[in-house]
Structure 1
């Protein structure tokens, strides 16, 4: 099948490459000539494990090509995917659909008879209707179809998610287009369910999925705080509840808060859609608020671990991207943590295996290093922010010899319990009582809530 993919960002490039891997003839289109020139030479604009090899293989086989020529790309395509960005509008929270609508307007005169325009970008309810009206100003209804085909790709494992998905969701309004979309997927997916529904439900499925997962992460993070207070273990708690098949173990890893290109943007967009229709989504609203507060609260955890004051101290941060196996810094929890520590006077160094180039655009006055051991040399505290394999495999004994003060704040529980302590570190972790804290009975010792509230208040308004 001949396919055009408009947009060579994360979704467009992964989707187009995987369709080519299935044997389809795919043309990826982008207005950025430098990006297209780089792709033709095998230079990818994003980091995703093994994607470069798959791009090279399919490009060499003639199944995958890249161009800035929209007309040539869509003229003979049976399916045209819109995979452009839909960022949150600054100060608004709703999705900016200008790139989606622009793509619809520009392709409309050149669509083949009977072509299907499938929106793979994450878009609010009703966007497919708007795309259909835009194209219908130029092409008669019935000469084309508009479908919703949202992506469910996780950065770092996107190829596996595309080739072996949990399900494929397709929102479609006519039978002929449904048959074409089924043929596009069915031959390559085996027993994977194809969920056919109307366009609006398909659009909402994407936002609802991400909001639910974001809520699940926030839920376990709040329980991690309770575990620290009562002296229990959040990892064992997550296992105990996650083995219930109604709940599941995935997305129950406590940490410093969710980030990335999807959850923050999509929860905000879903909330704004609900507000536009006069519906209150209280759980989603509280999830957003709690997640943003948690990111900055992690700085308080670091400050407490070094004795209550980081002014003039050197803090080494290991890992910057919002998750491992990606160079994506969008909404990464490392950014507010570092900014807050800097406001309190800390000197920050940082290491990330692939994210330093993107991090440099967001962080000021941070020394970015390409070696974790150099990053921690003479540091007064080490903070683990992203659980890269290269960080998990760090020699803790060597790390201990390099630091000035043996304080390790593991915000991802990246190391085996007791390993850092055995290496000589005073350890602060997520969802466990820290091994350097007083281990008096929590019922016998009243927590200093006023001190904690005061600290959080300072973090909120800045030093």
Structure 2
């Protein structure tokens, strides 16, 4: 559907966003920055997270995104606030964004594929209980098709059962299309803003907010169902490109072709384009796998088994790529890594973020730990406690003299955080580059090689290392989609 832009819209004066995570925090910060006349309150029940958003030291924000600190610094204390007072913020708001986590269900109907919507439903019920007057409710979380229908049913019940002044609601879908690491530029200069809804006035009220900085031709209006499905489809298509180029990368390694040259050649085709053709250890993050599995579940629910199998294969190949890299490391290191030190360079799922959700490093490191490896893990933004939670294993550093710890002597896998790449590679048989931090492309491999146990390897799963410098340092090199080369 396409609403007429001249539909009468009530000006929005106050916004409440439920959820202070990777989507809610940056999105609301940019809206507040670009719409100084609108009061924006981000609420969350996690008091520690809210305290971090309110920390006077902007370098301690709970979400790391380039440019986010500057945006928060301009708006916080003016028209942007962070609070745990959820009920009060809902009551004061003209518009409520629901931006809570929607993880994949771990048990029950649809376990392993369907989205767990318990937090979304809880938010809808809280809005129904606390809202006053007319409130526009906006889905901002990534949600399966027809979720808005459930939210609308909950809110409609509140309209019928109200004993005081009757509240009223409009429900919109406004999916986010952010890429972590570039979220602020994605918000400030979006390819498109998608708004799905059946109430023209509500649609135009939200469009009016974005219109403060987004060109009119980039604000797309659809029905709710198309909006919800567009988000799942966009992520499925992007993930499919990553699995496709990684499948070709494996073939390149076997055949002698170079995946970078292949990607460059096909990327010049205007029908394909160059983006998302970078071979690597597979996709990660909070959305791609979750959204594809949800799409698989929905397709099976509709009896479209062949379609479900197609999209499921995208996730299967992604997992295979990560296991393949771990197996390759073991095979190149004389068939065993038990007791050997390996440097893991990068733990975030991509550069310029501290997010580790579904990071390829988790599965690769986990496989190596199962093989008894001793891992020194370095990342510029991921703290050790996050690594421990993701690996399900507390850190066990080597003994004070630098010798093997008890785990190494027993053949058990162990890991510890390293403060720098230099510290990580000390005594290591190999270094694995698993996150494409820019600094890893400029490492002094001659200096690093002198710290490693020879013969040593560099496994560049991101294709960012200076290949000539690695080989000149006397190190063996494996690069994704190119295979191995001797010094």
TM-score (norm: length of structure 1): 0.91
How far off its partner does 1:181 sit? 1.7
Deviations 1:260-315 (A, max 9, x none): 11111111111111111212323211111111121111111112322322222211
Matched, 1:291 2:318: yes
Any gaps of 5 or more consecutive residues in structure 1? 438-463
Q: Distance in 2 between matches of 1:220 and 1:419?
A: 26
Secondary structure in structure 2 of the residue aligned to 1:311: coil
Question: Is this contact kept in 1: 2:131–2:167, CA < 8 A?
Answer: no
Secondary structure in structure 1 of the residue aligned to 2:158: coil
Matched, 1:86 2:86: no
TM-score (norm: length of structure 2): 0.86
Pairing partner for 2:227 from 202, 205, 208: 202
Aligned to 1:460: none
Matched, 1:361 2:375: no
Aligned to 1:435: 485
Aligned to 1:175: 200
Question: Is this contact kept in 2: 1:305–1:409, CA < 8 A?
Answer: no
Once the two structures are superposed, the pairs formed by residues 331-350 of structure 1 within 5 Å of their partners are 331-350=358-377
Pairing partner for 1:63 from 49, 57, 79: 79
Secondary structure in structure 1 of the residue aligned to 2:213: helix
Secondary structure in structure 1 of the residue aligned to 2:151: helix
How far off its partner does 1:367 sit? 1.2
Q: Distance in 1 between matches of 2:366 and 2:452?
A: 22
Pairing partner for 1:108 from 113, 128, 131: 128
Pairing partner for 1:99 from 119, 124, 138: 119
Deviations 1:240-270 (A, max 9, x none): 1112122111111101111111111111111
Secondary structure in structure 2 of the residue aligned to 1:298: helix
Over 3 Å counting, the alpha-carbon distance change for 1:143 and 1:191 in structure 2 is: closer
Range that drifts further, 399-408 or 121-130: 399-408
Pairing partner for 1:135 from 155, 159, 162: 155
Over 3 Å counting, the alpha-carbon distance change for 1:248 and 1:68 in structure 2 is: same
Deviations 1:15-50 (A, max 9, x none): 110110112320111112222233222442222222
Q: Distance in 2 between matches of 1:423 and 1:359?
A: 30
Matched, 1:145 2:157: no
Aligned to 2:4: none
Secondary structure in structure 2 of the residue aligned to 1:342: helix
Aligned to 2:457: 407
Deviations 1:371-425 (A, max 9, x none): 1101101111111111112222211111111111231111111123423112221
Matched, 1:423 2:435: no
Matched, 1:5 2:17: yes
CA root-mean-square deviation = 1.7
Deviations 1:314-370 (A, max 9, x none): 111111111111111111111121121122222211111111331122222311111
User: Aligned residues, how many?
Assistant: 436
How far off its partner does 1:174 sit? 1.6
Q: Distance in 2 between matches of 1:99 and 1:371?
A: 39
Q: Distance in 1 between matches of 2:216 and 2:158?
A: 39
Q: Distance in 1 between matches of 2:270 and 2:474?
A: 39
Question: Is this contact kept in 2: 1:171–1:198, CA < 8 A?
Answer: yes
Question: Is this contact kept in 2: 1:6–1:82, CA < 8 A?
Answer: yes
Range that drifts further, 83-92 or 204-213: 83-92
Aligned to 1:316: 343
Aligned to 1:50: 67
Any gaps of 5 or more consecutive residues in structure 2? 1-11, 161-165, 394-413
Question: Is this contact kept in 2: 1:232–1:433, CA < 8 A?
Answer: no
Q: Distance in 2 between matches of 1:71 and 1:368?
A: 41
Secondary structure in structure 2 of the residue aligned to 1:188: coil
Question: Is this contact kept in 2: 1:165–1:192, CA < 8 A?
Answer: no
Matched, 1:40 2:89: no
Secondary structure in structure 2 of the residue aligned to 1:155: coil
Q: Distance in 1 between matches of 2:147 and 2:45?
A: 22
Range that drifts further, 170-179 or 70-79: 70-79
How far off its partner does 1:192 sit? 5.1
Q: Distance in 1 between matches of 2:364 and 2:173?
A: 37
Matched, 1:244 2:269: yes
Question: Is this contact kept in 1: 2:32–2:40, CA < 8 A?
Answer: yes
Question: Is this contact kept in 1: 2:467–2:477, CA < 8 A?
Answer: no
Structure 1 segments of 4+ aligned residues over 4 angstroms from their partners: none
